[in-house]
Amino acid sequence: MTARPSATHQHAVLIGRFQPFHIAHYTLLRKALDAARCVVVVIGSAFQARSPKNPFTWQERAEMIRLALAEAERARVIFVPMRDHVDEERWFAEARLAIDAALAEQGEAATAAGSTVLIGHVKDATRDYLHGFQGWTLHAADRSHSASAATVRDAIFSGSKEAPEVLARAVPAATLAFLRRWMTTPLHAALAQEWELLRQHDAAWSVAPYPVVLVTVDCVVKCGGHVLLIRRGHSPGKGLHALPGGFLELRETTLQSALRELEEETHLALPPAELLACLVRTEVFDRPDRSQRGRTITHGHFFDLGDRQPLPDVRADDDAAAAEWTPVAALVGLEDRLLDDHFQMLDHFLGLLPRPLIGD
């Protein structure tokens, strides 16, 4: 159901990544505040590792939004952090549960059909989530400002002489003050270096006569309550934990590529035939925005080595600065230190997080 918002709604919901919060976001937030007494702001990609695409924690993004509001309005806004998931239906189910739980903590009634309005701007397929909340009223607002998060991030990291003017036009005054402070930190300098590397990567592919789709492989190797991770030795994601993997070479299958990358990055001390016997399944992960390096489709290979002891020897090499067996129980605590969507892949294969019950 699509309708104009009205003050008769009990709750308004605004969903976004807000990386960072800009004028177009602010306009939608104002519509949400006009539409309902209580506004729930769902902050997506909440627990991703910092990167040029995800430079701010969800708490920092919530603070940007809070600072842009008058004091009386801040009390009407509830923030709900949401992680990404491979399974879209799971994301919808968890979002509803998280929103209702946050409302209950504030003594508010749960969202309900007819009393909840979803505010958003329908741009492209990345906004399909706006149609995933059955029973809520959808107010699809027209785009009112040219500001985009990608443009703002480019201004934050480029250091160009136009950057201050771009930022001043694109973000609320309170956000601008926040960003100016943040841009003096060592964290900004490190991410700016990574941003430049990714810019050069994009420029190198810009001469291709068609949109570039990259193909990679990643390996989830489980053994005795542990999983094999590397630490990245190079950008993007230098120093982050990651699954062993890499780009598919011209004359190999995805399975051959997975075995090669495991050998090159970890020197896993297991004969190939024995490793192949432990392959449980292979799945494709193809969310369009899953990688910072552009459209990248990866083939995840799950190997379960059982409970053998001791754990097979590993030795870091190639792109890996370290290779280590990490307890499965420790992975949730490493969520914001894992590259791209590697935590989501680990959760998909290993069931790290509880699953909500999804109705028939």
State residue 22's pLDDT score.
Answer: 97
Bridge partners, residue 41, by sequence: 14, 79
CA 110 distance to own-chain centroid: 27
- Whether pTM > 0.85 for this model: the answer is yes
Give the C-alpha separation, 337 to 287, whole Å. Answer: 20
SS3 147: coil
Mean pLDDT, rounded, for 262-271: 96
SS3 302: strand
Contact 157, 151 (CB under 8 A): no
Backbone angles phi, psi at 322, to 5 degrees: -155, 150
Give the least confident one: 62-71, 110-119, 134-143. Answer: 134-143
Confidence tier at 319 by pLDDT (50, 70, 90): confident
Give the residue ranges of DSSP H helices in the chain. Answer: 23-35, 58-67, 71-74, 88-105, 149-158, 163-170, 173-182, 186-205, 254-266, 272-277, 342-350
The continuous run of DSSP H or E covering 297 comes out as strand 296-304
**What digits encode the pLDDT tens for the residues 179-219?**
999 999 999 999 999 999 999 999 999 999 999 999 999 99
Give the C-alpha separation, 164 to 159, whole Å. Answer: 9
CATH architecture under which domain 214-350 falls: Alpha-Beta Complex (3.90)
Task: Determine the length of the chain.
Answer: 360
pLDDT at 20 > cutoff 80: yes
State residue 3's pLDDT score.
Answer: 44
Residues of the chain with CATH 3.90.79.10: 214-350
SS3 289: coil
pLDDT at 98 > cutoff 60: yes
State residue 5's pLDDT score.
Answer: 45
pLDDT at 247 > cutoff 60: yes
Mean pLDDT of the chain: 93
CATH T-level topology, domain 9-182: Rossmann fold (3.40.50)
SS3 4: coil
Q: What's the token pair of residue 232? A: 């990245």
How would you write 197-244 as a 3-class SS string?
HHHHHHHHHCCCCCCCCEEEEEEEEEECCEEEEEEECCCCCCCCEECC
How buried is residue 189: exposed, middle or buried, by Cβ count under 10 Å (0-12/13-18/19+)? Answer: exposed
End-to-end CA distance of the chain, in Å? 21
State residue 144's pLDDT score.
Answer: 65
Contact 329, 225 (CB under 8 A): yes
**What digits encode the pLDDT tens for the residues 111-134?**
988 899 999 876 655 456 677 788
Residues of the chain with CATH 3.40.50.620: 9-182
SS3 150: helix
**Among candidates 278, 280, 297, which has minimal Cα distance to 350?**
280
Contact 320, 232 (CB under 8 A): yes
Q: Torsion angle of alpha carbons 323, 327, 328, 329, nearest 10°?
A: -140
SS3 114: coil
**Local structure of residue 352 (DSSP, 8 states):** -
